[in-house]
Structures are given as structure tokens and as C-alpha cells.
Chains A and B, each alone.
Chain A
């Protein structure tokens, strides 16, 4: 698994993970962040870099279904895990209900925070839990948006949650 660099230090690792449903095997430098690997090595450029310190949430991906800031998450830690980026949501060009809600509610302006917020909202919807208005705002507070004042983002998230709840009532598992 480990290889050595010129100085003889073990700095490389073979990383196996699933990204957007596809198995990926890649040799990485153990210092690389998951963000760098996703963007620079695998060309998932929908994952955005806004701050590099885990503040803005633009680099959010779902790791085994949980939102994480990929800029402060070592790629090596993702070994054996399942990663979903914004590119992994729509199937055959069909938007998910969360994506549709963001487009329809006017929750997108510059779009740079959008992938992260959509993924966090997707995780909320997938959790099957109910969220109060304040809880929605708290759940999304790890995403900085400078364009919208968050109002339409919260509207879109609440709509997606409401629709998922209705769908669950109509088609109980």
C-alpha cells in the first residue's frame, strides 16, 4: 500500500473509495485533502474551494451520507467510504426534488455555495427526520452565502423537506 518518496518518507497511499456510485482507485499523497483529490485529480469541479479552513461549506460532499467539509478532510480518511458530490445527484439529467426546489425558489444566485447547500439539504431530506424552521436554519448555518441573505435557500430546503414528507406519507416504505 505505501510507497516512498525521494526522501524515503512514506508519503503516498493507494486510496479506494466510491465516488458518485463509481469505484475509484488512485494513488494519493497523504497530505492531500479530499477536496484536492476530487477537484484536481478526479475533475469533480462542482466541489468548490472557498476558504480552505472549513468555514464556508462550499466544498461540502456527502461521506457515507453525512455532509463534511472536504477541504479539511484528508483524502486518506475516505478510504473505503462512499462519496457523493453535486455531480452525483441528478440521474440522466433529471434533477432531484432538492435541486428542483433550489432552482424554482430562486435560491441560487452566484451559485458558488449552491453545491454544498444542496448536498446538506439532501442529507436532511434523506435522514427522514422532521426539522423545525430554526433547525433548518441551524443545519444550514455551516454554509456561507453572500448573495441571498439565506431566505430563499431556507424556503427551498423547507419545500424539499415538506415534499419528501408528503411523498413518504403517500408511499410509506
Chain B
């Protein structure tokens, strides 16, 4: 069970084409919903004009004035309206103003184009620097969505006395999650037993986020709102917070029309208006002694948070905690800010702030090695965190951490030394192809940052079914990562049953408790641990009530469950998250155990650059990681391979081009993600080191592979091309050409 590559639970339905995604759900008489959006980044909405030639009386129309409850999307900070009303401020180019629905999809699209918004434009802030300069002030009193300071020791006296002080500035661009299934929602709002019942079926990661948003939007109690997660065609964070918005929009149209409403985005709308990875700017300053020991580190970490806070405060938090990387350093100061701009709000994307700050740190370490005249491998080896060391937040490493061993394993696997030696001979030769090899060493905190898990206090359970099989009750969603299978394996292991006897219940808020959002690499480790408890409680209940005697076989267990369900009507057992003893966190000082544990990794990349076209080919890639005990090796490898592909894409090709605060390459044709021809075979190696806090020793895995590829690839580029200003991703051919020209032209 745990440790076996069990076959994906819903794999058969997916390969037969019978898995039901949101847009596949048949609903008789459904209307097609559409959203009318601002096209200017900032202004005051003065009027909505409905053009001629459209039978408007046939349409369901919803504006801010119609909203029955609170016109604010429930989130970390409630600052974002579902719809902007007349006289109110438009704060980004994709702001929703009007919702419309009609049975005829083509007529609905025609109607959308016939709406004209009268907007009094205001000056907009479109980049980080303008926001910092308050040019103009657009949010609160400082344009800051969130500010965090982390301090350890005092770096100030160190700068003057250190042998070397090295500074650098690094930038990363926005990135689109590009799940293949665009955002999709379906809603019905109808009276049931005399009370209004709001139901949303959707492609969404966090059913209880949407549930909370709908309660607030309609001003309804818990019982009158129901959210069902359908089969999901990928998410990667892109369906974490946005579904609270489009789920609300679908429900508003369903409520106003009294009919089922489908709100299915096409790709262009999805790319233009939904969340992305936050663009970032990181300034680093490091002090070293003459031997290359890291003495002090200062990081100024800034995220472009867009027009509303959304998840920026928590993305910033993770980015800030990861900013000092995997190095021991006595004096650290991290200043992190998420700034407001008049752009569509970015949100969650696999990695959640850590890829940005780790790109900076891992590029910086290679640059420092070059400036110090040290080998990048040896500089890192000298400074790695080890058991007993303290991180920037004061967290003590309590596990037997061997980053040097991890690094050596990856470098051996890719043939780092031999390749470096060989390329040093071949690169100076004529010919356009230059080769390089590089790597990164990094970590990813498992679960929520700080007190997040305590605040959510997740609940998950196990239920006996009439046929004697066992159902997992959790609101954690399947987005392709393998939750259905891994949860079944964890429960089967706890009950000593074959995995075929355990399955997950449909994720429906009427049936499953709030196990928290499906994010933050937390499902296996955090929810899995709760399920372990619930399963053991379930077995004990069967024994105590006389249905089951130990030892048992799968057959006697199944018979016992069937008998118990027949006798009692239902049999469920729940578990809840409890903070493990010894974990401390202070939200104000940012001191303490930022995460219960970390997954650790070293990724190595070999690149070939064609100096005729400045195209970069990743020729080889090795991903070595320590993620506790691996629950399902095939699914886990799939997570790493997919994450590496996204990381390489972010590093080399995936560029969101903005004009006047609007994404203009919002198609798959010109936003380029990797194809099967663009990637090498990725060697995945797991080093297992069981973590006491996870089910069967497991840690989090989902986001880790996003953190390492970009710095590894860009470090390899520096090895291929020499010291260029390789300080930014994506390092597209255009950008690489510019950087090479800087050197040629001085």
C-alpha cells in the first residue's frame, strides 16, 4: 500500500472518456453565461450602454446593484468586488462589470460585444517601481498589499568588515498555469423546502473557499450553499482562489434567471483575466569571509500583487521564508513587500512565491562563486544548513539533513565534472552550439506557512459503505496529482486492507468535511495524517462495538463494515489536525517554525545554446529530492516530471506580455509551453528519509519541483556562455541575445 505504485483510481474513467468534467455535465435548459469586462486599467465606471440589434429582454443581466449579499470576494483580505458598480472604481483591465446569460451561446457572445462601458479613465500603476514610488497612490496609504520583515542577528556591522560583499538584482516574470481545461462553473439556484439553495459544480481546488464566498455573496447560512468539485483538468494553483470569483458569477446568473447557468471560459478569456504567478524583483546582498563562509544576507523581495490582495499576503510569506535558501547564515534581514498595480490580480501557482526568491538565491550563489573564485559546488558545500543549524526565522533543523550528499548524487547522475571539463574544451571551438551544465539546491516548506494549519484545523474522515468498502471523506480535490489514489493507499495501509476496498467519496460540501484547500503540498502530508488517525479510530469503533475481531482478513473486515452499516445506518469516523508538540510560530515577528518540515532537492541541467538563433535546448536533467517516504513512486515521479517541465518553461519560454495592464499574448499560439519535443528525459531520484509527522513518513511533494529548474537551467547557461547578465526569467532567445550583445558592445 504505502510505497506501492497503485494504479490511479480514476485512470480508467479518464482513458475511456467517461470522467465528467464541469463542461461535460448535462443540464437541461441551461443558459450560457458571459462576463463583460473593463478594457482600461483604471477609472471610474460612469455608465453601461446596451447596443442596438440585440433582444436584451431575452437576456439575464446582473450588475453590482443586483447582488443580494456582500459584493466582496471572501479571501485573505476582503477587498475585491464581484462586480464594479456605477460610480465605483475600476482597478484593472479585466474587471468584471456586467454578467449576461442567454440560451443561445452565439447570441450571448454577440451581446457581449454590443455592450459599451463608459469609463472615466484615471492614471494607472503598471509596474513594481511605479507602485513603490506611489505614482500614483492606488491602494491604501502606501500601495502595499503586505509587508513582512524577518530578522536574525544584525547584518549591519558585517558589511564593512567582511572580506567580500556581493550584490545582485534578479527578476522573474508572470507565468500562466495553463491547465488544459479552462475555468468552468455550472450553477443552479432554486428554492428547496422554502429556502433558497445555491449549488455550484465547478473546476475548483478548494470547495470550502467557494462555499465561503457564496455564503458571503448571497448572505446565506452554511446549509443553503453547496459546492461540488467535478473532475478537474489541471489547476496548479490557478483554480485555488479564482473559483470564488467565477463561481460567484455563475451563481448570480443562476439566481437572477432561475435557470441553470454554465460559465465556461474560452482560452483567451481565461488567460487574460485569471491569476498568474506573481512577477518579482529581488535584490540580494551577501557578505563572505576570505574562505567563502556566508556571514550576512540581506534580501529585498518584492512581488507585483496586482489590483487586489487576493492571496498575495500568503504568497509573499512563503517567498520571504524561502529567500535565504538552504544556507547557514548568522545574520539575515529579509524585507518582503507585495505591491499593488492596476493589473489583474496574480494568485497561487505551484511554488507560491518560493520559485521567485529561490531563483534569486540560487543564481546569486553561482555569481558569488564566480566572484569569489570558488567552485559553485564547494561554495554551497561550505555553507549548507545541517542538523542543529537555525534558519532565518530561528527554526532549528531537527532532521538529519545531508544536502551535500543530495547535491553529490545529482551531480554524479548528470556527469557534472566530466561535462564541465569537456565543455571547457569544446565551447571555445568555432560552431554555434555552446554547452553548459548547472544546478540548484533548494527546499520547499511542507503545508501552510506558520499558523496556517492551526487556523484551518482541517477535518477528514472515513466512512463505511453498505457493501463493506470504505470511503474517504475529505474536501481535498483531485486535479491530476493523485489524491484519490494516495488517500486510498494511506487509509488502506492504516486498516491493513487492499487498496481496492478503499475509494474517495465525491467532493461535495454536503457530504465531506472541510479538510482545507488542496494547495501548499499539504494533502498527502497533512490531510493524509488526519486520515490515518480517522482510519484507526474507525477500526477501533468496529472492534469496540463488537462488529470486528482482530486479527482480521480483508473479507472479514468487509463483512464487519457491511454488518455495522446495516445495523447502525451509517458509520463514520473523523480526525482533526492538531499542531504537533514543539512547533512554535509568531505571525508578528515571523520567528519560529515556519513549516513543520521541508522537502529538499538538488536539480541539475545540461543545456545546449545555438548562437545562430539563441534557442536553448535542455539536453539532460536530473532531479534528486528527499521527500520523506514516497507513498506512490509512479505518481510521485509524475509530479516531479511535470513540475520540472513547468519550471523549465518558466525559465526559458513562458512569457506573459502585458500592454496597458492587459495580457496581449493570451492564446496557446503565442504563450509557449513545452511540448513533447522540447524536453529531455528527466531522471528522477528519491532519497527517502521518513518524516515522523507525515502518514507513513511522507512529506509534501507537489510544489518542490517548480522551485529548482529555472535557476539550474540559467546557471547552466552561464556555464555555456560565460559571465552574462543572466538575472531574469524567462531567458527567451530575445533576452539572451540582448545579454550577449551587452558583453560584445561593452
Chain A residues packing against B (C-beta within 8 Å): 43-53, 55-56, 58, 85-87, 89-90, 95, 99, 102-104, 106, 108-115, 118, 136-138, 140-154
Contacts and interface: CB of A to CB of B under 8 A. Distances in A.
A108 B14 contact: yes
Contact of A143 (B5, B479, B635, B676): B676
A103 B677 contact: no
Interface stretch (B179-187, B364-372, B508-516): B179-187
Nearest to A140: B676
B15 A147 contact: no
A40 B679 CA distance: 35
11 contacts: A45-B20, A45-B24, A103-B12, A106-B5, A110-B181, A149-B641, A149-B645, A150-B641, A151-B682, A152-B638, A154-B676
B642 A109 contact: yes
Contact of A141 (B12, B481, B676): B676
B675 interface: yes
Given A45-B20, A147-B480, A113 B641 contact: no
Contacts of A145: 180, 676
Contact of A104 (B7, B21, B482, B673): B7
Contacts of A103: 7-8, 11-12, 15
A153 B179 contact: no
A146 B17 contact: no
Nearest to B11: A103
Interface in B11-33: 11-21, 23-24, 26
Contacts, number: 166
A144 B180 contact: yes
Interface stretch (B87-95, B148-156, B227-235, B461-469): B227-235
Given A48-B233, A148-B641, 5 more contacts: A46-B17, A49-B182, A109-B480, A110-B181, A147-B642
B113 interface: no
Contacts of A115: 17
Given A111-B10, A144-B675, A152 B641 contact: yes
B634 interface: yes
A79 to B, nearest CB: 22
A99 B180 contact: no
A109 B636 CA distance: 11
Given A109-B638, A153-B676, A53 B17 contact: no
A150 B679 contact: yes
B16 A146 contact: no
Contacts of A112: 21, 179-181, 233-234
B234 A55 contact: no
Contacts of B14: 108, 111, 114
Nearest to A95: B15
Contacts of B669: 53, 55
Nearest to A88: B17
Given A106-B5, A110-B233, A51 B10 contact: no
Contacts of B11: 102-103, 108, 111
Contacts of B236: 146
A141 B642 contact: no
B667 interface: yes
A52 B675 CA distance: 18
Contact of B646 (A51, A146, A151): A146
B668 interface: yes
A99 B12 CA distance: 8
Contacts of B15: 86, 95, 99, 102-103, 108, 111, 114, 118
Contacts of B234: 109-110, 112, 146-147
A137 B24 contact: no
B327 to A, nearest CB: 29
B668 A106 contact: no
B681 interface: yes
Given A141-B676, A149-B642, A111 B19 contact: yes
Nearest to B7: A103
B644 interface: yes
A85 B16 CA distance: 10
A63 B230 CA distance: 30
Interface in B558-580: none
Interface string B657-675: 0000000000111000111
Interface in B540-594: none
Interface in B596-651: 634-635, 637-638, 641-646
B657 to A, nearest CB: 17
B73 interface: no
Contacts of A138: 676-677
B667 A110 contact: no
Nearest to A43: B26
B534 interface: no
Nearest to A151: B641
Contacts of A52: 266-267
A58 B267 CA distance: 13
B178 A106 contact: no
A165 B479 CA distance: 34
A91 to B, nearest CB: 11
A144 B26 contact: no
Contacts of B642: 109, 146-149
A108 B182 CA distance: 18
A112 B183 CA distance: 13
A52 to B, nearest CB: 6
Given A43-B26, A141-B676, A148-B641, A111 B16 contact: no
Contact of A150 (B8, B19, B481, B676): B676
A102 B15 CA distance: 8
Contacts of A87: 16-18
A44 B177 CA distance: 27
B668 A51 contact: yes
A90 B11 CA distance: 14
B615 to A, nearest CB: 16
A149 B182 contact: no
A144 B645 contact: no
Nearest to B479: A110
Nearest to A119: B17
Nearest to B647: A149
Contacts of A149: 641-645, 674, 679, 682
Please indicate which of the listed interface residues B5, B266, B643 has the most CB atoms of chain A within 10 Å of its own CB.
B266
Contacts of A45: 17, 20-21, 23-24
A108 B669 CA distance: 24
Choose among B17, B181, B669, B679 the residue with the greatest number of A CB atoms under 10 Å from its CB: B17
A137 B21 CA distance: 27
Nearest to B643: A149
Contact of B668 (A55, A102, A118, A153): A55
Nearest to B12: A103
Closest 7 CB pairs of A and B: A46-B17, A110-B480, A112-B233, A111-B14, A86-B17, A109-B480, A149-B645
B677 A95 contact: no
Contacts of A144: 178, 180, 668, 673, 675
